[in-house]
């Protein structure tokens, strides 16, 4: 199964809500970081991708869409490998995004920062763009803005949707050419929910 949707937005831009929305619209299963934890056999494949030796067909076997890390790190490669896929770029206010990352995915208790040994090569790959600046607001906000600028500059307009989860179903459904569901747009994985889940299950179990 070839990917129909490539999510180029960084983590903590409503990606888990977007995953739920895409699956509700028929573009599922949708790959998200939680699948890496649920399928640890895929970790070596991702590490190899970080070394320039990806096997996208194996990584995304059975998936119709992708959002969040680690896939968003490879948005250029995936957009080229799946030329028919549409690109959904999830965004939010960059400073709000930074604050969210510091309390969740890049906090001291998160798997990314406090990875158990088997996951350390994987998270080293995921975080490689940041160096030692992961807690530097100016650097991270600039990175976030530059990431969006590069996506917008690189992807043809007709293939790209820049999207905020708060916009709801309408722009997403219009872009994908599907009807608007009657139920509310999914709203999951808030900052408080993430923190509570990590506290309850331990730092090595993000899902």
CB within 8 A of 179, min separation 6: which ones? 173
Question: The domain containing residue 166 runs over which residues?
Answer: 5-201
**How many independent structural domains does the chain possess?**
1
Burial of 164 from C-beta contacts in 10 A (0-12 / 13-18 / 19+):
middle
Per-residue pLDDT of the chain (207 residues; tens, 9 = 90+): 799 999 999 999 999 999 999 999 999 999 999 999 899 999 999 999 999 999 999 999 999 999 999 999 999 999 999 999 999 999 999 999 999 999 999 998 888 888 888 899 999 999 999 999 999 999 999 999 999 999 999 999 999 999 998 899 999 999 999 999 999 999 875 445 544 444 545 544 433
Per the domain annotation, does 206 fall within a domain?
no
- Report the CATH number that the domain containing residue 162 is assigned in CATH: 3.40.50.300
């Amino acid at each position: 199964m070839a990917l129909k949707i490539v999510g180029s937005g960084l983590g903590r831009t409503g990606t888990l809500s977007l995953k739920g929305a895409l699956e509700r619209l028929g573009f599922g299963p949708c790959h998200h970081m939680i699948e890496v934890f649920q399928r640890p056999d895929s970790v070596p494949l991702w590490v190899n991708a970080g070394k320039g030796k990806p096997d996208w067909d194996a990584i995304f076997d059975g998936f119709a869409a992708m959002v969040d890390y680690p896939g968003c790190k490879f948005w250029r490669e995936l957009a080229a490998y799946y030329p028919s896929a549409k690109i959904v770029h999830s965004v939010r206010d960059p400073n709000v995004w930074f604050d969210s990352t510091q309390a969740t995915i890049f906090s001291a208790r998160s798997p990314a920062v406090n990875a158990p040994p088997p996951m350390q090569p994987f998270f080293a790959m995921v975080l490689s763009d940041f160096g030692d600046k992961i807690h530097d607001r100016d650097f991270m906000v600039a990175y976030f803005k530059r990431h969006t600028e590069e996506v917008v500059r690189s992807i043809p307009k007709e293939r790209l949707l820049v999207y905020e989860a708060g916009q709801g179903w309408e722009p997403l459904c219009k872009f994908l050419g599907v009807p608007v569901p009657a139920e509310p747009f999914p709203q999951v994985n808030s900052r408080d929910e993430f923190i509570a889940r990590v506290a309850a299950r331990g730092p090595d179990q993000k899902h």
